[in-house]
A and B are shown apart, each in its own frame.
Chain A
Amino acid sequence: RVSRDTPRASPMDEEEDLASQLGPRTSQVPDTDVSRLKRAYVNEKCAPEILPFEHDLMRRVTESVDAQESTVAASRAAAGSGASSATDDLTAHVYHAELNRIRFLMRAYYRARLRKIETHAVHCLKEPDVLERLSDLEQRYASDYANIVEEHFSSVLGQMPEGYESMVQQIIEEDGAFDMVPEPDADAHVFCRVREDRGDVMLDPDDPENTMDLERDDILMIRYRLIKKLLEDEAVDLM
Protein backbone atom coordinates (compact mmCIF):
# COMPACT_ATOMS: atom_id res chain seq x y z
CA ARG A 1 0.00 0.00 0.00
CA VAL A 2 2.84 2.36 0.79
CA SER A 3 4.93 3.01 -2.32
CA ARG A 4 8.67 3.53 -2.29
CA ASP A 5 8.19 7.21 -2.99
CA THR A 6 5.91 7.85 -0.08
CA PRO A 7 7.56 9.25 3.05
CA ARG A 8 7.73 6.64 5.79
CA ALA A 9 5.08 8.05 8.06
CA SER A 10 3.28 11.37 7.83
CA PRO A 11 1.95 12.97 11.00
CA MET A 12 -1.56 12.06 9.81
CA ASP A 13 -0.61 8.37 9.52
CA GLU A 14 0.92 8.43 12.97
CA GLU A 15 -2.23 9.94 14.37
CA GLU A 16 -4.37 7.27 12.72
CA ASP A 17 -2.02 4.56 13.92
CA LEU A 18 -2.22 5.85 17.46
CA ALA A 19 -6.00 6.08 17.28
CA SER A 20 -6.28 2.49 16.09
CA GLN A 21 -3.82 1.37 18.76
CA LEU A 22 -5.91 3.04 21.44
CA GLY A 23 -8.97 1.12 20.33
CA PRO A 24 -12.63 1.81 21.02
CA ARG A 25 -13.58 4.18 23.85
CA THR A 26 -15.68 1.55 25.63
CA SER A 27 -16.55 -2.13 25.41
CA GLN A 28 -19.79 -3.08 23.74
CA VAL A 29 -22.52 -2.98 26.38
CA PRO A 30 -25.12 -5.74 26.07
CA ASP A 31 -28.64 -4.48 26.57
CA THR A 32 -29.62 -6.42 29.68
CA ASP A 33 -31.68 -5.49 32.72
CA VAL A 34 -28.43 -5.20 34.66
CA SER A 35 -27.00 -2.66 32.24
CA ARG A 36 -30.31 -0.78 32.26
CA LEU A 37 -30.27 -0.75 36.05
CA LYS A 38 -26.76 0.66 36.01
CA ARG A 39 -27.81 3.43 33.61
CA ALA A 40 -30.93 4.16 35.65
CA TYR A 41 -28.80 4.49 38.78
CA VAL A 42 -26.20 6.80 37.26
CA ASN A 43 -28.86 8.98 35.63
CA GLU A 44 -30.70 9.24 38.93
CA LYS A 45 -27.50 10.08 40.79
CA CYS A 46 -26.60 12.88 38.42
CA ALA A 47 -29.98 14.42 37.58
CA PRO A 48 -31.00 17.41 39.72
CA GLU A 49 -34.68 16.36 39.65
CA ILE A 50 -36.24 13.02 40.43
CA LEU A 51 -36.73 10.86 37.33
CA PRO A 52 -39.70 8.54 36.68
CA PHE A 53 -39.49 5.39 38.77
CA GLU A 54 -38.49 2.32 36.77
CA HIS A 55 -41.33 0.09 37.96
CA ASP A 56 -40.96 -2.73 35.46
CA LEU A 57 -37.18 -2.77 35.49
CA MET A 58 -36.93 -2.94 39.29
CA ARG A 59 -39.60 -5.63 39.46
CA ARG A 60 -37.74 -7.75 36.89
CA VAL A 61 -34.35 -7.23 38.51
CA THR A 62 -35.73 -8.10 41.96
CA GLU A 63 -37.24 -11.28 40.52
CA SER A 64 -34.03 -12.20 38.66
CA VAL A 65 -31.90 -11.65 41.75
CA ASP A 66 -34.25 -13.74 43.92
CA ALA A 67 -34.32 -16.52 41.33
CA GLN A 68 -30.52 -16.50 40.97
CA GLU A 69 -30.06 -16.57 44.73
CA SER A 70 -32.37 -19.60 44.97
CA THR A 71 -30.52 -21.38 42.17
CA VAL A 72 -27.14 -20.79 43.76
CA ALA A 73 -28.39 -21.85 47.20
CA ALA A 74 -30.00 -24.97 45.75
CA SER A 75 -26.86 -26.06 43.92
CA ARG A 76 -24.81 -25.46 47.06
CA ALA A 77 -27.22 -27.63 49.01
CA ALA A 78 -27.18 -30.31 46.31
CA ALA A 79 -23.37 -30.40 46.47
CA GLY A 80 -24.14 -31.17 50.10
CA SER A 81 -21.63 -32.36 52.62
CA GLY A 82 -19.78 -34.21 49.89
CA ALA A 83 -16.69 -32.68 48.38
CA SER A 84 -17.57 -29.91 45.96
CA SER A 85 -15.04 -29.41 43.22
CA ALA A 86 -12.82 -26.36 43.11
CA THR A 87 -14.72 -25.30 40.03
CA ASP A 88 -18.04 -25.49 41.90
CA ASP A 89 -16.56 -23.26 44.59
CA LEU A 90 -15.31 -20.84 41.96
CA THR A 91 -18.69 -20.77 40.24
CA ALA A 92 -20.50 -20.06 43.51
CA HIS A 93 -17.98 -17.33 44.29
CA VAL A 94 -18.58 -15.69 40.91
CA TYR A 95 -22.39 -15.84 41.18
CA HIS A 96 -22.16 -14.40 44.67
CA ALA A 97 -19.89 -11.59 43.52
CA GLU A 98 -22.24 -10.61 40.71
CA LEU A 99 -25.27 -10.68 42.98
CA ASN A 100 -23.44 -8.32 45.34
CA ARG A 101 -22.80 -5.93 42.49
CA ILE A 102 -26.44 -5.96 41.42
CA ARG A 103 -27.74 -5.54 44.96
CA PHE A 104 -25.41 -2.58 45.38
CA LEU A 105 -26.83 -0.98 42.23
CA MET A 106 -30.40 -1.52 43.40
CA ARG A 107 -29.75 -0.01 46.81
CA ALA A 108 -27.81 2.87 45.28
CA TYR A 109 -30.72 3.57 42.93
CA TYR A 110 -33.24 3.68 45.78
CA ARG A 111 -30.89 5.78 47.92
CA ALA A 112 -30.25 8.33 45.17
CA ARG A 113 -34.00 8.81 44.83
CA LEU A 114 -34.64 9.02 48.56
CA ARG A 115 -32.03 11.73 48.91
CA LYS A 116 -33.84 13.84 46.35
CA ILE A 117 -37.25 13.07 47.84
CA GLU A 118 -36.01 14.22 51.23
CA THR A 119 -34.52 17.42 49.83
CA HIS A 120 -37.67 18.25 47.85
CA ALA A 121 -40.35 16.45 49.90
CA VAL A 122 -42.93 19.23 49.88
CA HIS A 123 -42.27 20.00 46.21
CA CYS A 124 -42.89 16.32 45.33
CA LEU A 125 -46.19 16.32 47.19
CA LYS A 126 -47.27 19.64 45.77
CA GLU A 127 -46.67 18.96 42.07
CA PRO A 128 -48.78 16.10 40.65
CA ASP A 129 -46.45 15.51 37.69
CA VAL A 130 -43.56 15.04 40.11
CA LEU A 131 -45.54 12.90 42.53
CA GLU A 132 -46.47 10.46 39.79
CA ARG A 133 -42.75 9.80 39.17
CA LEU A 134 -42.51 8.29 42.66
CA SER A 135 -43.35 4.70 43.49
CA ASP A 136 -46.18 4.07 45.97
CA LEU A 137 -43.69 3.43 48.77
CA GLU A 138 -41.79 6.57 47.87
CA GLN A 139 -44.96 8.66 47.88
CA ARG A 140 -45.71 7.42 51.38
CA TYR A 141 -42.12 8.17 52.35
CA ALA A 142 -42.34 11.73 50.99
CA SER A 143 -45.54 12.32 52.92
CA ASP A 144 -44.22 10.87 56.19
CA TYR A 145 -40.96 12.75 55.82
CA ALA A 146 -42.68 16.08 55.13
CA ASN A 147 -44.88 15.58 58.18
CA ILE A 148 -41.93 14.79 60.42
CA VAL A 149 -40.05 17.83 59.18
CA GLU A 150 -43.08 20.04 59.70
CA GLU A 151 -43.50 18.72 63.23
CA HIS A 152 -39.83 19.40 63.85
CA PHE A 153 -40.00 22.95 62.51
CA SER A 154 -43.23 23.77 64.30
CA SER A 155 -41.37 23.86 67.59
CA VAL A 156 -39.54 26.93 66.27
CA LEU A 157 -42.13 28.28 63.87
CA GLY A 158 -44.69 28.33 66.64
CA GLN A 159 -42.60 31.04 68.33
CA MET A 160 -42.58 33.30 65.26
CA PRO A 161 -44.78 36.38 65.02
CA GLU A 162 -48.22 35.89 63.58
CA GLY A 163 -48.16 35.40 59.85
CA TYR A 164 -44.64 34.03 59.86
CA GLU A 165 -45.28 30.55 61.21
CA SER A 166 -45.62 28.73 57.93
CA MET A 167 -43.10 26.18 56.70
CA VAL A 168 -43.99 26.80 53.08
CA GLN A 169 -44.55 30.54 52.86
CA GLN A 170 -42.35 33.35 54.10
CA ILE A 171 -45.46 35.35 54.94
CA ILE A 172 -48.79 33.64 55.18
CA GLU A 173 -51.03 35.10 52.54
CA GLU A 174 -54.01 33.81 50.73
CA ASP A 175 -53.00 33.00 47.14
CA GLY A 176 -49.41 33.70 48.13
CA ALA A 177 -46.52 31.84 46.52
CA PHE A 178 -45.06 28.77 48.21
CA ASP A 179 -41.70 30.48 48.25
CA MET A 180 -40.15 28.47 51.07
CA VAL A 181 -40.36 25.15 49.25
CA PRO A 182 -37.01 23.93 47.85
CA GLU A 183 -37.21 22.88 44.23
CA PRO A 184 -34.72 21.07 42.03
CA ASP A 185 -32.58 23.38 39.89
CA ALA A 186 -33.19 22.54 36.26
CA ASP A 187 -30.38 24.90 35.26
CA ALA A 188 -27.77 22.96 37.24
CA HIS A 189 -24.92 21.80 35.02
CA VAL A 190 -24.56 18.11 34.32
CA PHE A 191 -22.20 15.95 32.29
CA CYS A 192 -23.76 13.67 29.73
CA ARG A 193 -22.66 11.17 27.13
CA VAL A 194 -24.33 10.84 23.75
CA ARG A 195 -25.57 7.31 23.02
CA GLU A 196 -26.40 7.63 19.36
CA ASP A 197 -25.65 9.94 16.43
CA ARG A 198 -28.21 12.74 16.37
CA GLY A 199 -26.63 15.18 13.93
CA ASP A 200 -27.28 18.88 14.40
CA VAL A 201 -29.57 19.38 17.38
CA MET A 202 -31.23 22.56 18.59
CA LEU A 203 -30.90 22.40 22.35
CA ASP A 204 -32.20 25.75 23.54
CA PRO A 205 -35.59 26.91 22.20
CA ASP A 206 -34.65 30.42 23.37
CA ASP A 207 -31.64 30.31 21.05
CA PRO A 208 -32.75 28.31 18.02
CA GLU A 209 -29.78 29.34 15.85
CA ASN A 210 -27.42 27.63 18.24
CA THR A 211 -27.17 23.98 17.34
CA MET A 212 -24.73 21.29 18.41
CA ASP A 213 -23.60 18.35 16.34
CA LEU A 214 -24.17 15.33 18.56
CA GLU A 215 -22.24 12.17 17.77
CA ARG A 216 -22.16 8.91 19.70
CA ASP A 217 -19.68 9.02 22.63
CA ASP A 218 -19.55 12.84 22.68
CA ILE A 219 -19.36 14.19 26.21
CA LEU A 220 -21.15 17.43 27.01
CA MET A 221 -21.12 19.68 30.02
CA ILE A 222 -24.40 21.51 29.84
CA ARG A 223 -27.43 22.78 31.73
CA TYR A 224 -29.75 19.90 32.65
CA ARG A 225 -32.74 21.75 31.21
CA LEU A 226 -31.23 21.71 27.71
CA ILE A 227 -30.74 17.93 27.56
CA LYS A 228 -33.71 16.79 29.64
CA LYS A 229 -35.69 15.77 26.57
CA LEU A 230 -32.70 13.86 25.13
CA LEU A 231 -32.36 12.03 28.44
CA GLU A 232 -36.05 11.06 28.35
CA ASP A 233 -35.56 9.79 24.79
CA GLU A 234 -32.52 7.77 25.93
CA ALA A 235 -30.34 9.63 23.42
CA VAL A 236 -27.96 10.62 26.21
CA ASP A 237 -26.96 9.24 29.58
CA LEU A 238 -25.74 11.37 32.46
CA MET A 239 -22.35 10.68 33.96
Chain B
Amino acid sequence: SIITWERYRDDRAVVSTQEVHFLAEDEHLDVVPNFSLQSLHLLGGTYGPFRPQMKTSVPMWLAMLLKKQGKCSVVPPRWLDVATLKQVIESERADDVFQGLPHHYIEIATDLCKHAREDLEDWNLTFDLVDTIRAVRHNKIQAGLRSLDENALKGVKLTNMSAMEVSVIRPFMSNALDNFLEGSITAE
Protein backbone atom coordinates (compact mmCIF):
# COMPACT_ATOMS: atom_id res chain seq x y z
CA SER B 1 0.00 0.00 0.00
CA ILE B 2 1.14 3.53 -0.65
CA ILE B 3 1.71 5.59 2.47
CA THR B 4 1.39 9.34 2.00
CA TRP B 5 2.87 11.74 4.50
CA GLU B 6 0.00 14.16 4.34
CA ARG B 7 -0.57 14.70 8.01
CA TYR B 8 1.02 17.91 9.23
CA ARG B 9 3.50 17.43 12.04
CA ASP B 10 4.64 20.34 14.19
CA ASP B 11 8.43 20.07 14.43
CA ARG B 12 8.35 21.43 17.96
CA ALA B 13 6.40 18.34 18.91
CA VAL B 14 9.32 16.12 18.00
CA VAL B 15 11.53 14.68 20.71
CA SER B 16 15.02 15.24 19.29
CA THR B 17 17.98 12.89 19.56
CA GLN B 18 19.64 15.28 21.99
CA GLU B 19 16.54 15.26 24.18
CA VAL B 20 16.40 11.46 24.20
CA HIS B 21 20.05 11.49 25.25
CA PHE B 22 19.34 14.08 27.95
CA LEU B 23 16.57 11.87 29.33
CA ALA B 24 18.96 8.89 29.36
CA GLU B 25 21.44 10.73 31.55
CA ASP B 26 19.61 9.79 34.74
CA GLU B 27 20.57 6.13 34.26
CA HIS B 28 22.97 4.99 36.96
CA LEU B 29 26.58 4.00 36.44
CA ASP B 30 29.25 2.87 38.88
CA VAL B 31 32.28 5.12 39.20
CA VAL B 32 35.50 4.84 41.18
CA PRO B 33 36.37 8.28 42.55
CA ASN B 34 39.88 9.56 43.27
CA PHE B 35 38.66 12.19 45.74
CA SER B 36 36.90 12.36 49.08
CA LEU B 37 33.54 13.93 49.72
CA GLN B 38 31.00 13.02 52.36
CA SER B 39 27.95 13.35 50.13
CA LEU B 40 26.26 15.41 47.46
CA HIS B 41 22.74 16.49 48.44
CA LEU B 42 21.19 17.10 45.07
CA LEU B 43 17.52 17.75 44.44
CA GLY B 44 17.29 14.52 42.48
CA GLY B 45 18.93 12.41 45.16
CA THR B 46 21.84 12.12 47.56
CA TYR B 47 25.05 10.57 46.26
CA GLY B 48 28.21 9.40 47.95
CA PRO B 49 30.10 9.14 50.17
CA PHE B 50 32.92 9.45 47.69
CA ARG B 51 36.14 7.74 48.79
CA PRO B 52 39.19 6.99 46.69
CA GLN B 53 39.08 3.49 45.20
CA MET B 54 35.55 2.87 46.58
CA LYS B 55 32.99 2.16 43.88
CA THR B 56 29.77 4.19 44.10
CA SER B 57 26.67 4.63 41.94
CA VAL B 58 25.75 7.96 40.35
CA PRO B 59 23.55 9.15 37.48
CA MET B 60 25.28 9.13 34.11
CA TRP B 61 25.32 12.95 33.75
CA LEU B 62 27.24 13.17 37.02
CA ALA B 63 29.53 10.28 36.07
CA MET B 64 30.45 12.10 32.85
CA LEU B 65 30.95 15.39 34.70
CA LEU B 66 33.30 13.74 37.22
CA LYS B 67 35.09 11.85 34.44
CA LYS B 68 35.68 15.01 32.43
CA GLN B 69 37.09 16.68 35.54
CA GLY B 70 39.49 13.76 35.97
CA LYS B 71 37.85 12.86 39.27
CA CYS B 72 36.95 9.24 38.63
CA SER B 73 37.11 6.22 36.40
CA VAL B 74 33.89 4.69 35.09
CA VAL B 75 32.99 1.04 35.61
CA PRO B 76 31.48 -0.17 32.34
CA PRO B 77 28.12 -1.91 32.88
CA ARG B 78 28.18 -5.71 32.62
CA TRP B 79 26.50 -5.76 29.23
CA LEU B 80 28.98 -3.36 27.66
CA ASP B 81 31.77 -5.82 27.05
CA VAL B 82 32.96 -7.31 23.79
CA ALA B 83 31.97 -10.91 24.50
CA THR B 84 28.44 -10.03 25.60
CA LEU B 85 27.89 -7.67 22.70
CA LYS B 86 28.99 -10.36 20.24
CA GLN B 87 26.49 -12.74 21.83
CA VAL B 88 23.76 -10.13 21.48
CA ILE B 89 24.53 -9.69 17.78
CA GLU B 90 24.26 -13.44 17.25
CA SER B 91 20.93 -13.60 19.08
CA GLU B 92 19.54 -10.56 17.28
CA ARG B 93 20.42 -12.09 13.93
CA ALA B 94 19.02 -15.51 14.83
CA ASP B 95 15.61 -14.41 16.14
CA ASP B 96 12.72 -12.19 15.15
CA VAL B 97 12.44 -11.05 18.76
CA PHE B 98 14.48 -8.26 20.28
CA GLN B 99 17.05 -8.91 23.01
CA GLY B 100 16.42 -7.29 26.39
CA LEU B 101 19.18 -4.70 26.19
CA PRO B 102 19.00 -1.79 28.60
CA HIS B 103 16.43 0.77 27.52
CA HIS B 104 19.15 3.38 27.00
CA TYR B 105 21.89 1.11 25.68
CA ILE B 106 22.72 3.38 22.74
CA GLU B 107 23.04 6.54 24.84
CA ILE B 108 25.11 4.80 27.53
CA ALA B 109 27.45 3.19 25.01
CA THR B 110 27.85 6.49 23.14
CA ASP B 111 28.76 8.45 26.25
CA LEU B 112 31.27 5.87 27.49
CA CYS B 113 32.90 5.45 24.09
CA LYS B 114 33.21 9.22 23.87
CA HIS B 115 34.25 10.27 27.39
CA ALA B 116 35.51 7.12 29.15
CA ARG B 117 37.51 5.39 26.47
CA GLU B 118 40.35 4.27 28.71
CA ASP B 119 37.85 2.57 31.02
CA LEU B 120 36.70 0.24 28.23
CA GLU B 121 38.68 -2.82 27.15
CA ASP B 122 38.51 -1.75 23.48
CA TRP B 123 36.35 1.31 22.92
CA ASN B 124 36.64 1.22 19.11
CA LEU B 125 35.49 -2.38 18.87
CA THR B 126 32.82 -1.78 21.51
CA PHE B 127 31.39 1.12 19.55
CA ASP B 128 31.38 -0.89 16.33
CA LEU B 129 29.59 -3.79 18.00
CA VAL B 130 26.93 -1.52 19.49
CA ASP B 131 26.43 0.11 16.12
CA THR B 132 26.05 -3.33 14.53
CA ILE B 133 23.43 -4.23 17.12
CA ARG B 134 21.63 -0.98 16.39
CA ALA B 135 21.69 -1.69 12.64
CA VAL B 136 20.47 -5.29 12.95
CA ARG B 137 17.63 -4.19 15.20
CA HIS B 138 16.78 -1.31 12.88
CA ASN B 139 16.38 -3.74 9.98
CA LYS B 140 14.10 -5.91 12.10
CA ILE B 141 12.04 -2.85 12.98
CA GLN B 142 11.69 -1.91 9.31
CA ALA B 143 10.60 -5.46 8.49
CA GLY B 144 8.06 -5.27 11.29
CA LEU B 145 6.74 -1.96 9.97
CA ARG B 146 6.22 -3.46 6.54
CA SER B 147 4.24 -6.33 8.00
CA LEU B 148 1.74 -4.20 9.90
CA ASP B 149 -1.91 -4.69 9.07
CA GLU B 150 -5.11 -3.22 10.41
CA ASN B 151 -4.78 -5.33 13.56
CA ALA B 152 -2.05 -2.90 14.49
CA LEU B 153 -4.79 -0.35 15.11
CA LYS B 154 -5.67 -2.24 18.28
CA GLY B 155 -2.22 -1.50 19.59
CA VAL B 156 1.21 -3.04 19.01
CA LYS B 157 3.55 -4.35 21.68
CA LEU B 158 7.15 -3.43 20.95
CA THR B 159 8.89 -5.81 23.29
CA ASN B 160 12.39 -4.72 24.31
CA MET B 161 12.48 -1.65 22.09
CA SER B 162 14.97 0.95 23.30
CA ALA B 163 14.38 4.68 23.88
CA MET B 164 16.48 5.85 20.95
CA GLU B 165 14.88 3.30 18.61
CA VAL B 166 11.39 4.47 19.56
CA SER B 167 12.43 8.04 18.85
CA VAL B 168 13.86 7.13 15.44
CA ILE B 169 10.85 5.18 14.23
CA ARG B 170 8.23 7.40 15.83
CA PRO B 171 7.51 9.63 12.82
CA PHE B 172 7.21 6.66 10.46
CA MET B 173 5.14 4.40 12.65
CA SER B 174 2.81 7.09 13.92
CA ASN B 175 2.18 8.38 10.42
CA ALA B 176 1.70 4.91 8.99
CA LEU B 177 -0.82 3.91 11.62
CA ASP B 178 -2.65 7.24 11.61
CA ASN B 179 -3.08 6.81 7.87
CA PHE B 180 -4.19 3.21 8.35
CA LEU B 181 -6.80 4.49 10.73
CA GLU B 182 -7.99 7.11 8.31
CA GLY B 183 -8.12 4.52 5.56
CA SER B 184 -10.07 2.07 7.65
CA ILE B 185 -12.59 4.72 8.71
CA THR B 186 -13.11 5.77 5.10
CA ALA B 187 -13.58 2.16 4.09
CA GLU B 188 -16.43 1.65 6.55
A222 to B35, CA, bound (A): 48
Is B143 part of the binding interface, using a Cβ–Cβ cutoff of 8 Å?
A: no
Contact with B along A93-128 (1 / 0, CB 8 A): 111011101101000100100010001000000000
How distant is the Cα of A18 from the Cα of B79 in the complex, in angstroms? 9
- Is the CB–CB distance between A34 and B37 below 8 Å? no
Given the known interface contacts A23-B102, A25-B102, A94-B65, the answer about A102 and B43 at a Cβ–Cβ threshold of 8 Å is: yes
Pair count A-B, CB < 8 A: 149
Per-residue interface assignment for chain B, residues 29 to 73, with 1 indicating a CB less than 8 Å from any chain A CB and 0 otherwise: 000000111001011110000000000000001100110010100
Of A95, A111, A210, A223, the contact of B42 (CB 8 Å cutoff): A95
Whether A29 contacts B26 by the Cβ 8 Å rule is: yes
Q: Which residues of A contact B27 (CB under 8 A)?
A: 26-27
Q: Which residue of B lies closest to A35 (CB)?
A: B44
Q: Which residues of A contact B100 (CB under 8 A)?
A: 19, 22, 25
Q: For residue B162, give the distance in angstroms from its CB to the closest CB of chain A.
A: 9
Task: Answer yes or no: B183 CB below 8 A from chain A CBs.
Answer: no
A58 located at the interface, meaning its Cβ lies under 8 Å from any Cβ of chain B in the complex: no
Q: Among the listed A115, A190, A220, A226, which residue makes an inter-chain contact with B10, where contact means beta carbons less than 8 Å apart?
A: A115
Given A27-B27, A42-B23, decide whether A220 and B158 contact each other with a Cβ distance below 8 A: yes
Which residues from chain B contact A45 at a C-beta distance below 8 Å? 13, 15
Distance in angstroms between the alpha carbons of A239 and B164 in the assembled complex: 10
**Provided the pairs A27-B27, A115-B10, A219-B159 are in contact, do residues A210 and B154 lie with their beta carbons within 8 angstroms?**
yes
Q: Give Cα A101–Cα B45 distance, bound, in whole angstroms.
A: 14
Give how many B residues have a beta carbon under 8 Å from the other chain's beta carbons.
56
**Contact at B163–A239, with CB atoms within 8 Å?**
yes
**Is B5 positioned at the interface, with any CB of A under 8 Å from its CB?**
no
Given contacts A15-B91, A94-B40, A220-B158, 15 further A-B contacts (CB under 8 A): A21-B79, A21-B84, A27-B26, A68-B43, A97-B62, A101-B61, A115-B10, A188-B174, A189-B173, A190-B174, A218-B159, A219-B166, A220-B155, A220-B157, A221-B155
